[in-house]
Structure 1
Amino acid sequence: MNTLQVLKEQYGFTEEELEYAINRARGIIMGFAMEYRARMVLESMNFVNIRSVDLPTHDLEAERDGNKYFVEVKASKRSPTKEYSAYKLAMIARLNGTHLTLLMTPRPSLLLTEEILSEPKRILLNFFKLALNNKLEDLRRFMEDEKNKKIVMFYDKVVQAYLHDTPLRTESLY
């Protein structure tokens, strides 16, 4: 007996009610199916200890060759990092491991997230990595580049929000 038949018999749902529920849950069902597929893809690439997480920065965590990876699964045809906000980049910079993007369509491909970011987003991510890891000398050199400085200053509110609780003060960077 399939799931729909069970729901009809046990709960007395009509075809119309079940059709409504399926239409409403289609995106959720597809998301879980894609997550399962992504786990299988990672296993085929020799990742181990794969676990699902529900975090703003990634969908799966996995290990390979003793390294930890944070994997964002993308199934849409749009740019995979287009909706990455400055806040998300700051959160990614805090992760203790490598952030990857697993593109599921048209066929699975695993990419280093940093390599597929637009140049401004890549610069901002690098800024946060240096700042949040207190690499002050590297950060000073990074900020000497006018392009880097201009981009970081554009995101000043996010920078202030993420650096307020660190010994680093943004006034000294600009």
Structure 2
Amino acid sequence: MNTLEQLMEEFGFTDDEISYALDKAKGIILGFAMEYRARQVLESMNFINVKSVDLPTHDIEAEKDGRRYFIEVKATKKSPTKEYSAYKIAMIAKLGGTHLTLLMTPKPTLYLTEDILSEPKRILLKFFRLIFAEDLVDLKDFLDNDKNRKIVTSYEKVISSYLDKIPNENLLDIVKSVF
């Protein structure tokens, strides 16, 4: 007996009630079905320890060749990273591994997330990675570039929300000097 038949029998739902529920839950069902398919796709690409997670930065965690990967699954025909906010970019920068985006349509394609980000978001990602790596020298060099500095200053609100998470006083001074 399939799940729908089981629900209809157990709770006495009519075809109309089930149809209504399915219509309302279509997006949720699509999301879970794509996640299931994505896990199979990753396993066919020789990823191991593939597991679903429910985190703001990614849907799946997996390993390959001794490296840890965080994978966001997208089933959209629009830009797959359009909805990646500056806050999400900062969270991605904190992850202890490589962030990938698995675009499921029209056919499954795996991308290194930073390769498909817009240039401002790519610069913001690099900025946060330098901060979280506590790389004073490279951060200073990075911010000496006028283009990078200008883009970083346009994200003042999100950067300000992370100031209390910067453990190194010298690093904090460099970041504050941007504003």
Same fold flag (TM > 0.5): yes
Q: Identify the residue that residue 30 of structure 1 maps to in structure 2.
A: 30
Alpha-carbon separation, structure 2, partners of 1:98 and 1:43 = 17
TM-score by length of 1: 0.96
In the TM superposition, what is the alpha-carbon distance from 1:8 to its structure 2 partner? 2.0
* 1:62 match: secondary structure: strand
Q: Identify the residue that residue 177 of structure 2 maps to in structure 1.
A: 172
In the TM superposition, what is the alpha-carbon distance from 1:15 to its structure 2 partner? 1.5
In the TM superposition, what is the alpha-carbon distance from 1:147 to its structure 2 partner? 0.5
How is 1:1-150 mapped onto 2 (pairs within 5 angstroms)? 1-150=1-150
Q: Identify the residue that residue 155 of structure 2 maps to in structure 1.
A: 155
Structure 2 alignment gaps of length 5 or more: none
In the TM superposition, what is the alpha-carbon distance from 1:103 to its structure 2 partner? 0.7
Q: Which runs of 4+ in 1 moved over 6 A?
A: none
CA deviation vs aligned residue, 1:43-66 (integer Å, no higher than 9, x gap)? 010000000000010000000000
In the TM superposition, what is the alpha-carbon distance from 1:162 to its structure 2 partner? 1.3
TM-score by length of 2: 0.94
Let me know the Cα RMSD of the aligned residues. 1.1
**Percentage identity across paired residues of the two chains:** 64
CA deviation vs aligned residue, 1:56-93 (integer Å, no higher than 9, x gap)? 10000000000000000011100000111110000000
In the TM superposition, what is the alpha-carbon distance from 1:172 to its structure 2 partner? 2.9
Structure 1 alignment gaps of length 5 or more: none
The aligned amino acid for 1:138 is D
The aligned amino acid for 2:128 is F
